[in-house]
């Protein structure tokens, strides 16, 4: 593993520290009037998603973790696990729901995701910023109930429940922001 200086930190770099794998969310070089310079960072634990604030002395070496990222296509759900296929080698991989996190709510068959592994362990799954999903069930909008901005719950084909405008009906395809779970538009 390459060791990099804390002066070379950038957003998105993955570090292996004594207590796990972390990705740099935010960093700031600080040079106070007296005393040595230091680097203040916000790190996200890749295994559980928790944020950690850590301060490093400027110029010290930290271990950079090189993640292997591959495009994989979601094939099907096997009991609780999700089965993905590597788009280059056609190898199939089973992924636990805990490794997917929120991404599991937006995966439909043949969707493509970027799966990052470190030493054979899946550490993160990246999906596109928006997904087009079909509304499986929702109550019909009531005639005359046209309050501006009114919303109703809708269950998507993946089982995720989101808030949609009153004009959306079962069977409609909607675009959903996968980062926040918000309705964007009807497709």
> Average per-residue pLDDT in the chain?
87
Architecture of domain 130-186: Beta Barrel (2.40)
Domain segments of the chain as ranges = 3-64, 68-126, 130-186
Which parts of the chain fold into alpha helices (H)? 97-100
Q: Do 166 and 141 meet the contact criterion of CB atoms below 8 Å apart? A: yes
Q: 59 near 7, Cβ under 8 Å?
A: yes
b (16+ CB within 10 A) / e for 70-80: bebbbeeeeee
pTM, to two decimals:
0.73
| Residue 146 reports pLDDT greater than 70 | no
For 40-88, the pLDDT digits (tens) are: 999 988 877 788 899 998 888 999 988 899 999 999 988 888 899 998 8
| CA atoms of 23 and 16, how far apart (whole Å) | 9
Work out the percent of the chain whose per-residue pLDDT is above 90. Answer: 25
**Under 8 Å between Cβ of 68 and 86:** no
3-64 maps to which CATH number? 2.30.30.30
Longest dimension (CA), the chain: 70
pLDDT for 166 = 85
Name the CATH superfamily for 68-126: Nucleic acid-binding proteins (2.40.50.140)
Distance CA 115, CA 91 (A): 13
**Domain 3-64 and domain 68-126 have a common topology:** no
- The Cα 187–Cα 107 span in angstroms is 17
Contact at 8 Å (CB) between 41 and 55? yes
């Amino acid at each position: 593993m390459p060791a990099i200086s804390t002066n070379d930190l950038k957003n998105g770099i993955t570090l292996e520290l004594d207590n796990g794998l972390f990705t740099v969310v935010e960093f700031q070089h600080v040079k106070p009037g007296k005393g040595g310079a230091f680097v203040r960072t916000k790190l996200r634990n890749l295994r559980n998603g928790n944020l950690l604030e850590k301060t490093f002395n400027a110029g010290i070496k930290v271990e950079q973790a090189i993640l292997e990222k591959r495009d994989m296509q979601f094939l099907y759900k096997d009991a609780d696990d999700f089965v993905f296929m590597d788009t280059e080698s056609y190898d199939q991989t089973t992924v636990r729901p805990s490794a997917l996190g929120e991404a599991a709510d937006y995966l439909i068959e043949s969707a493509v995701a970027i799966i990052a592994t470190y030493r054979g362990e899946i550490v993160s799954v990246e999906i596109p910023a928006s997904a087009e999903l079909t509304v499986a069930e929702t109550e019909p909008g009531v005639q005359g109930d046209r309050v501006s901005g009114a919303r109703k719950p809708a269950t998507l084909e993946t089982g995720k429940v989101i808030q949609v405008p009153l004009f959306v009906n079962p069977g409609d395809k909607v675009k959903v922001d996968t980062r926040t779970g918000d309705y964007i538009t009807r497709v």
